[in-house]
A and B are shown apart, each in its own frame.
Chain A
Amino acid sequence: MSPPAAGSDDIPPWQRFFTPPAIPDRSALASVEQFCGLPDPYRSDAESDALFVAATNEIMRWHADRSPVFRGIWSAAGSVPLSTVDDLPALPFLHANLFKQHDLASVGEPEVEVVLSSSGTTGAPSRMPFDAWSLRTFQRMDARAFEFHGWIGSPDAVDYVIFGFEPRPNAGREAQRGAAYGLDYICAFAPVRSVTYALRATGAGGHEPDLFGCVEALLRAAEGGTPARLFGFPAYLVSTLDLLARLGLSPLKLTSDSLVLLGGGWKGDEVRRVDKEVLYGRITDELGVPPDRVRDIWGSVEHPLPYYECPNHRFHVPTWARLLVRDVRTLDVVPDGDPGFLQLVSPYVTSAPAHSLLMPDLVSRHPAQACGCGLATPWFTVHGRAGTSRNRSCAVAASELLGAGR
């Protein structure tokens, strides 16, 4: 599959995301470049596995030469390269929370093109440095996933409603929120008629919700018969749906090629699943968007590869990553179906040793064929996050204490 054709004098804005980025050191990272260039976003076979192994070995040597922390962790694990993907359980990882505490760049300051930060709702924010290669590479992966799912281009200009942060004016390259950064560039994949943010920048560094603005944007799209694309935090979409209903404006009928991509901000564990199903139903009933055009996104600034729900609403692992699940106590790899920590491996990243990360999130992994959507890669189910239960302790929570120190 190739990107939609672009006229010679009218290159569509998404075309640039497919341009191969320049690898920092082609002789050291030839397999990394080749592996990250695989075009099919959901591929699983011996050839891609072999390329993954070669690329991972290259990137481990890259970071061992540049990152004292990774060098220490890798040498403590014996500095053993992978022979096959079956060696993955022995692959050393960095805990994602290390990036909340330390600046772990493997490249110099001049090479860093952008620093993306997480929201920090459950602790200190991570600050992830990206060089041009790493940034453009994960964006190209994202573009390929977008293309695969049929979300690139639109015959009509699109009314975008972003349930997220409006980028701050003059924020520069420093400390962009990852969520805002991603939502901003996501608008490049179809022509823009209007962009409306649910969280408007106040100009004083903060943001304020503007639900009436969202309501008006949805009304405009529905009345004009133009496609709408809704992206961002589910909570603000729920609030907008509630407001539409209270104002007596529901249901709206958006065009059937409208698209809803949600990400982040789901409540933990059991609540999440129920809420999600309820919300999907409301989106279809109250906005007229068909169920297979309503998808969730899993993402993190520490590992910003594309995890979009398939039509069956499962998060499949893209071609360019491998997923392991580790026991929450022993950190041993557990069998498919068992819950544990999420470990993600992708050799794409040169700017920080984030190629093998243990995430604080709890998930279970399932084989590709257990989904039934036809995608070739395994998928995972989210089981919430780690945390000290308030049901058993009257002690202060780590996040509360952190707030006190600011």
Chain B
Amino acid sequence: MTAGDDYFWQGGWIDEAEVGRRLPGLAAVADRALAEPLDPELVIAACDRLSRELADPTTPTPPWAELTGLPAERADAERAELAEFLSAGWLRRTRDRELGSWQPDGVPGDGDTAGGPAAREHWAPLGLLVHVVPGNVATAGPVSLVEGLLTGNVNAVKTSSDSGLLSQRVAAAIAETEPRLAPYLIVLRFPSRRADWLSQLCAPADAVTVWGGDGAVAGAARYVPSGVPLIVWGPKISFAYLGAGAWRDGDTLAAVARDVCRYDQAACSSPQVLYLDTDDHAELFAAAELAAAALSGADERRPADEPGRAEQAEISNVVTVARQEQHLGLTRVWSAPDLRWHVIADARPDLRASPLFRTLWVKPLPRDRIVATLRPARRYLQTVGLAPGGGDRPAMVRSLLAAGAVRITGVGAMHTTYPGEPHDGQHALRRYSRRVSQTVVGSR
């Protein structure tokens, strides 16, 4: 049996039987690699080279859509985003913003604590960092891997059986460019029902990071020994919030429509609900009608991703129920003639998840009820695209943050990020590091 491309282990491709032989020795593998600190500049240089290859359209790369398991256009967009993330400039700015200066070999004596011993603090790797990444976000695996590498950890990535091979390819490219990084990189694609492998992977871990829904997180948590930190990047929901009268501005609704159409709402930063600062139903329905027009305009510029049968059925279930609720005076529904988008105006303010693929709830939420309405869902809240209109922006921001949102952007900019931006309220590099201190008594 020849080694396929499911299992990448410290610079080489191995087969299933060999994975089975090596996994029980994972702790010793990590011990050896962690004996000496990893120079982050090696990581940055190797990633930057990969970044330039990805950004250069003349570089032959394996079919990107195949690697990511995404439709071609989405795959190209993610390729460009990954290239930006891997660039030296981005990684350095991320590191500096999240961790401050990086001096892993700092010696005691140059820090100062008032009256106490000379002290020095710095960031150190956790050790063996196990990443459990789902197939749902193609770049989650590579991003988590590179963040783990940048913080000096040995990284063992488990990707799901239905995901692409992007994590494997990125790890292989980094190891090929800089062989000194190879000992820090293991990527295995196998289904979560392989309890024996998952258990062997997690047993020696210093931390386990899990991406995915509540079910995936609970599933992985079973294998994490007690006392080992579980770093969760859980499921999220985002929405747009328009202050009084802001919906009357065509540019504002067009910007919301762009946020909806980009990624067809598959990203956690995609708006699923458009909230309006009103409790007037006539205003709600008027705004929703304009939102439908905006979505219709946006639709022509970018074709929608195609839902699968179960996903289409979920859209039809939600839209059909909403259409029938029109007879209860609760809703109004606008759909594209070809059913490629739907706008559902709903007089009930409670937060609802959208069935995605350009299905947008439009709901009333007076600003003084933001906290009470949204706080029950606080652990899922992520981005709010805010257009205050004539309202008091700082007050709205305070309410949205108090309700649990962690990221406030403008409308049309919900997917725009910057180096070192916290993810779901956390700095990833800090979560993947230990803050360590050294003091030497009498060194003064």
Q: Is B77 interfacial (CB-CB < 8 Å)? A: no
Q: When the two chains form their complex, are residues B266 and A394 in contact, meaning their CB atoms are under 8 A apart?
A: yes
- Contact between B213 and A400, CB atoms less than 8 A apart: yes
A400-B140 contact in complex given A386-B314, A395-B356, C-beta closer than 8 Å: no
Interface check B103, CB cutoff 8 A = no
A71 to B327, CA, bound (A): 9
CB <8 Å contact, B314 and A98: no
With A328-B316, A394-B235, A395-B353 in contact, is A389–B265 under 8 Å at CB? no
A390 CB-CB contact with B under 8 Å: yes
Q: Given A98-B325, A390-B136 in contact, is the A397-B379 Cβ separation under 8 Å?
A: no
Can you show 8 pairs from A to B with CB atoms below 8 A apart? A98-B321, A390-B216, A392-B266, A392-B305, A392-B311, A397-B213, A398-B355, A401-B380
B320 touches A331 (CB 8 A): yes
Nearest-neighbour CB distance to chain B for A275, whole angstroms, equals 13
Instruction: With both chains docked as a complex, state the minimum distance between the C-beta of B323 and any C-beta of chain A, in angstroms.
Output: 9
Q: With A73-B327, A329-B316 as known contacts, state yes or no: A395 contacts B212, CB within 8 Å.
A: no
Q: Which residues of B contact A328 (CB under 8 A)?
A: 309, 312-313, 316
A to B contact number (C-beta, < 8 Å)? 144
Contact at A101–B325, with CB atoms within 8 Å? Answer: yes
Interface centre among B136, B311, B316 (most CB of A within 10 A): B316
Tell me whether A94 is interfacial, beta carbon within 8 Å: yes
Among A102, A329, A360, point to the contact of B339 (Cβ < 8 A): A329
Q: Is B308's beta carbon under 8 Å from chain A? A: yes
A391 and B135 contact, CB distance less than 8 A: yes
Measured CB to CB, the nearest residue on chain A to B238 is A395
Q: Which chain A residue shows the least CB distance to B350?
A: A405
Shortest CB distance B134–A (Å): 7
B408 at interface, CB cutoff 8 A: no
CB distance from A305 to the nearest CB of B (A): 21
A97 lies within 8 A of B312 (CB) = no
User: What is the bound-complex CA distance between A380 and B9, given in angstroms?
Assistant: 48
Binds A, one of B51-59, B109-117, B267-275: B267-275
A362 at the interface (CB under 8 A from B): yes
Asked if A397 and B353 sit within 8 Å, CB to CB, the answer is: yes
For A73, give its contact among B140, B324, B351, B377 (CB under 8 Å).
B324
- Contacts A69-B327, A405-B377 given: A396-B237 contact, CB under 8 Å? yes
Chain B residues positioned under 8 Å from A69 (CB to CB): 324, 327-328
Tell me, rounded to whole Å, the shortest Cβ–Cβ distance linking A333 to chain B.
Answer: 14
Pick the most buried of A339, A401, A403: most chain B CB atoms within 10 A of its CB.
A401
Q: How far is the CB of B226 from chain A (nearest CB, A)?
A: 24
B317 within 8 Å of A by Cβ? yes
Asked if residues A397 and B235 are in contact (CB atoms below 8 Å), the reply is yes
A71 nearest in chain B by CB position: B327
In B207-261, the 8 Å CB interface with A consists of 211-214, 216, 235-238
The answer to whether B353 and A398 touch across the interface, beta carbons within 8 angstroms, is yes
Nearest 8 CB-CB pairings of A with B: A72-B327, A386-B313, A396-B235, A398-B353, A328-B313, A386-B314, A394-B268, A393-B266
CB closest chain-A residue, reference B355: A388
Do the beta carbons of A391 and B136 come within 8 Å of each other? yes
Given contacts A331-B320, A393-B266, A405-B376, 10 further A-B contacts (CB under 8 A): A94-B324, A386-B317, A388-B311, A390-B212, A393-B265, A396-B268, A397-B214, A398-B353, A400-B235, A401-B353
Which residues of B are found within 8 Å of A398, using beta-carbon distances? Answer: 352-353, 355
